[in-house]
Every structure is written in C-alpha cells, then in structure tokens.
Structure 1
Amino acid sequence: MIVYIFGNGNIKYSDFEEFYLKLIKRLANENVQFIVCDFRGVDTLIMEYLKCETEKVTIIHIGEKLRYLPDKYKTKVSQWKIKGGFEDDKSRDNYAINICTHFIAKDFNSNKNRISGTQKNIELCQSLNKIKIDE
C-alpha cells in the first residue's frame, strides 16, 4: 500500500488530529509506504509524527532544496527517501498521485468561489480510482 497524504497549509491542529492523525496511527504499524510533500501545515505535521514511527516515507519537493525536513538525530528520517527536482506543485502532486494506491486528504478551504489545490488533488485521485482512507 502506497499512501499519499496531503492537505491544506492552514490546517488547525485539532483538525489534523481528527482527520489525519488517527488514520496515520492505524496505518503506521502496517506495511505502508507514505508519500508526503514538504509544505507547511499538513505536510510538516505528518513528517513530525512519522519521524520516529517509520522509515517508509518518501518526501517529494519542488526544485533542488527541501523547504522542511525533521531532525535526523535519533529518528528514522535518515532512512527516508527524498525526491526533488519537480518544477511546480502540479508536476509534484501528479507524480505522487500516479504512484500512490491510497490517499488521505481533507479540504478545508474550498468554497463556491474557489476550489483549493487540495480539493483538485482529491478529485484527481478519485478520478484515477485511488482509494481514500477515512474512518
């Protein structure tokens, strides 16, 4: 199982706990490979949780330099795979969506006037028959 985890950059921690953390805790002990980007919000919160839980993480990022990576000292981060060089959010996200089998995501920002990037990625995952992990 390859799980792409993504979401909004401005998530409240209580929403992260409710919509992400309980699912990730359930999966962390299984044979799961996680894919995470390096943006603020959901991405950094996920990395901080997973750093001591599993070495089965791939971080994908735009350009040559990561925006964020947790400390490697006494964690499993040094065993994570890092894949960079993507030109923009869309190419990075499309890469993750194409290789994942499952996804965890929740959109808090879309409304009748604006569809967020998170919502667009959810819709793309669904159109490609990726399996959404929720309760």
Structure 2
Amino acid sequence: MNIYVFGNGNISFDDFKKHYEEVINPYLNNEEVSFLLCDFRGVDTLIMELLKCKTSNVSIYHIGERARYLPDKFNTKVGGWKILGGYENDQERDHEVIKKCTHFIAIDFNSDHKRKSGTAKNMEYCEELGKIRLMK
C-alpha cells in the first residue's frame, strides 16, 4: 500500500490533527505501508513531523536539486527516507507521486466557485486514476 498524503499549505494544526492524524494512525505500524509526500508547507511539513520517528517507509518528492524542507535526521527515521528530486514543476512532481500511489489522504479547504486549488486538482486526478481515498 502506497499512501500519498497531501493538502493545503495553510491548514491549521487542529484541522491537521482532525482530518489527517486520525486517518493515518492505523497505518503507522504496518511495514507494508509506504507514505509518499511532497515538501511544501502545511500538510507536507506536518505529516513529515508526524512520521519522522514512526517509520522509515517514506518517500519525499521535490522540485529541483534539493527538498525545501526535511525534518532532522538525528535520532529519527528520516535517514532511511527516500528523497526523490529533479522535477521541473509542481504538476510534474505531483503526477509522478499520483502514478506511484495506490491510496491517498487529502482534504481541500481552499477551493470555491472562483478557484480550484492544486489540492482539489490532485484529488480529482487521483480519483480519475482509481486511487482509493482513505478519509472519513
């Protein structure tokens, strides 16, 4: 099971705990589960902080030569994470992660009738490709 975890950059910590942490917790001790993440602020950094001492089964996808954010490796499992970069833009990176995932966890707080967020577009793409959503 490869779970892509993503969402808005402006999520509150309370909303992260409510909408993400409760969903992710049952998968944390399962060695058959890998987490696929990107390196932007908000959900990406919060999920990295949650996972850093819990699992080595994490892949971080980033644009350019190096990730914008990674947790500290000292006394954590971050040293075992796969860091995959060199993508030209968000869309190229996101589409690669979506191709690799089997499941996803995401919620969008930012779209409205005037604007569709990148999170909403990625959720739609996941659903088009038959990826399984793991939200409540």
Q: Normalising by the residue count of structure 1, what TM-score does the alignment of the two structures yield? A: 0.99
Which residue matches 2:51?
50
> 1:29-75 CA distances to partner (integer Å, 9 max, x unpaired)?
12210000000000000000100000000000000011000000000
Which residue matches 2:33?
32
Instruction: Give the distance between the partners of 2:29 and 2:9, measured in 1 at CA.
Output: 26
Instruction: Give the distance between the partners of 1:23 and 1:81, measured in 2 at CA.
Output: 23
Instruction: Give the distance between the partners of 1:52 and 1:102, measured in 2 at CA.
Output: 22
Q: Which amino acid aligns with 1:45?
A: L
Task: Give 1:24 shift.
Answer: 1.2
Instruction: Give the distance between the partners of 1:103 and 1:27, measured in 2 at CA.
Output: 12
The unaligned stretches of length 5 or more in structure 1 are none
Task: Give 1:26 shift.
Answer: 1.2
Which residue matches 2:121?
120
Percent identity of the aligned residues? 57
> Which secondary structure state, in structure 1, belongs to the residue aligned with residue 114 of structure 2?
coil
Aligned CA-pair RMSD: 0.5
Runs of 4+ in 1 over 2 A off after TM superposition: none
Q: Normalising by the residue count of structure 2, what TM-score does the alignment of the two structures yield? A: 0.98
Q: Which amino acid aligns with 2:130?
A: N
The unaligned stretches of length 5 or more in structure 2 are none
